[in-house]
Structure 1
Amino acid sequence: MSPKKKNSSSKVESVEMASEVSVLDLPDLVLECILEKLPPEGLCRMAGVCTSLRDWCTSDHLWERHMKNKWGRIVGPAAYREWQFHVVSGKSSIFFNQDKQKGLMGYLIQLWPFALIRSSFSNISKKQSFPPVDSIMSWYLALESGKFWFPAQVYNRENGHIGFMLSCYDAELSYDQRTDTFEARYPPHGRRASAVETGVTWDRLRAPPVDTSPHDLHVSDCLNELKPGDQFEIQWRRNKEFPYGWWYGVVGHLETCDGDANYCRCHDNDTLVLEFNQYTRGSRWRRTTVSRKDHREEGNEADGFYGGIRKLCGKEEISMWKKLWPAEALE
């Protein structure tokens, strides 16, 4: 064989060998690093290539980061319990039907049939759902679908209605991919039907900081440590048929104290002064007191009922309330 023919033959062999190299031939660590850099849409596409990549791309390890980055701040234990209920009851499949799905869900719907066909060839007797119903990927996609309503809390509900300024209320939320906002359904207020608000933005949402129903009194465990200047949230409701909301306030000084830190003994007194400085001086909502020793729900039908108290310690929580501070004092 001439050198020229030999060279051309070796080139053909090299091309053939190169064409046979698969991404699955990469070391596991390298493949994992590549997949970690893919966005959710990319993982969904890759999951439809073959059963091996499907297993890689649906792993909880890869989806934990996406869940935390996008949903971690507003999805808490209560939302996870709601999702687990749907999984156990077999209702999770309703989030993945093919009715006019767009965006990320659209990619999944297109890939789903092919992935199922491939898996049936590889293991006819063992049908596996795609994605696995109890996986983080499924939970992520259910949230994206907008059909999964989950519990969270909304600051300044009902588009910042003046009656709810500097408050945070429980609601059921549904995500709208088209507008990147949420629809919120609030619990009924007495005989009033549930209020609905659309266009709720991400910055007005949070995961519930305590695992207390909006109809139950939160057990206060911080009363003895509160002192003037400390910031807190307190449950308040208009009457006993209403659910509680959380309202922002600051611990104040007793009327007998001049506020001098060297002589202040307010923190030793059984009476705890709560101030809501978003209201004008003289407003009946500006100031109230509760007992440190035997605090339960306190109030009346005229001024509403004050419930449990939680001390604010995190800078992020406090900063959020400061951002919501009204431009003018409330009456």
Structure 2
Amino acid sequence: MAMSYSFREEAKPFRSKKSKGFLWISHSMWPFSWYKPKCESVNKPTTCLTVDSVMAFYLSLESGKFWFRAQVYNRENGHVGFMLSCYDAQLSYDSKTDTFQARYCPYARQSIEKNIHWDRLRAPPVGTPAQVLHTSDCLNDLKPGDHIEIQWRRSREFPFGWWYAVVGHQEFCDGNENRCLCRYNDKVVLEFSQYTPGSRWRQTIVNRKDHREVGEADGFYGGIRKLSEEEEISKWKQLWPKQIFD
């Protein structure tokens, strides 16, 4: 089940306090009409928490039995192959370590990751499923310096992840704002500055007027969403690697 907007808004002040941290999870999941807790074993007192019970939800979450959908920044503990990306996952809470474990798509190289801290989680910012191409409604507005996220996947068998990039200048443009006409060009340059200049991952170009999933030997680029909230942009900057990669 997708986490609602309250995940982003309420997680920020509660991350360091486990008991309060559950509030934004439970609030975003309400009502719990889909959740039907089972009665305790016959060998124990015959008590059964009522359906839609907040306590039932809390105990399920605290025990690690409850799994919910969210997205994980820099999956696989910051593996270089996923740097500055965010992927859908099913997560459960580990009360012993105050961290989460994630289950990714079975096609991924590593399907389970543990010890994920609160600050690496976010609610899905859009409702587009990970296997579906996101409809890009910002292409006509993109200009150099804009911050964006773009879908990317290795092959069509894999789900999309969201990757951070910045709109760059055309090759013929010197970057001078008074002379720059890049925003009127049908081609949009996307820069992935976590990679060195000349790297095959450093740059890609999309068609502003006819953008669709573009497949290459290096993977498939999908939909684009423009980042307009400073909080989202700041989060990506906080995740910036200490060194750039080839």
Common fold: TM-score over 0.5: yes
- TM normalised by structure 1 equals 0.62
Question: Quick one: which of 80, 92, 107 aligns to 1:162?
Answer: 80
- Greater RCO structure (CA 8 Å; 6+ sep): 2
> For 2:226 and 2:166, how far apart are their aligned partners in 1?
10
Instruction: Please identify the structure whose Cα radius of gyration is greater.
Output: 1
> For 2:122 and 2:198, how far apart are their aligned partners in 1?
32
Query: Offset of 1:290 from its aligned partner?
Result: 0.3
Query: Offset of 1:291 from its aligned partner?
Result: 0.6
Question: Quick one: which of 63, 68, 73 aligns to 1:145?
Answer: 63
Maintained 8 Å contact 1:228/1:252 = yes
> For 1:304 and 1:269, how far apart are their aligned partners in 2?
24
Which position in structure 1 is the counterpart of 2:225? 310
Unaligned runs of 5+ in 1: 1-65, 99-108, 114-128
Maintained 8 Å contact 1:73/1:206 = no
> For 1:221 and 1:76, how far apart are their aligned partners in 2?
30
Unaligned runs of 5+ in 2: 1-16
Maintained 8 Å contact 2:18/2:98 = no
Aligned residues: 228
Maintained 8 Å contact 1:75/1:152 = no
Which position in structure 2 is the counterpart of 1:233? 149
Relative distance call for 1:294 and 1:71 in structure 2 (3 A) is farther
> For 1:297 and 1:140, how far apart are their aligned partners in 2?
41
Which position in structure 1 is the counterpart of 2:96? 178
Relative distance call for 1:97 and 1:152 in structure 2 (3 A) is farther
> For 1:295 and 1:197, how far apart are their aligned partners in 2?
34
Relative distance call for 1:249 and 1:67 in structure 2 (3 A) is same
Relative distance call for 1:170 and 1:251 in structure 2 (3 A) is same
- TM normalised by structure 2 equals 0.83
Q: RMSD in angstroms over aligned alpha carbons?
A: 2.8
Maintained 8 Å contact 2:69/2:88 = yes
> By percentage of residues, which structure has more helix?
1
Which position in structure 2 is the counterpart of 1:6? none
Query: Offset of 1:194 from its aligned partner?
Result: 6.1
> For 1:276 and 1:327, how far apart are their aligned partners in 2?
15
Maintained 8 Å contact 2:94/2:100 = yes
Relative distance call for 1:173 and 1:255 in structure 2 (3 A) is same
Maintained 8 Å contact 1:176/1:183 = yes
Relative distance call for 1:145 and 1:251 in structure 2 (3 A) is same
Sequence identity of aligned pairs in percent? 60
Maintained 8 Å contact 2:192/2:201 = yes
> By percentage of residues, which structure has more strand?
2
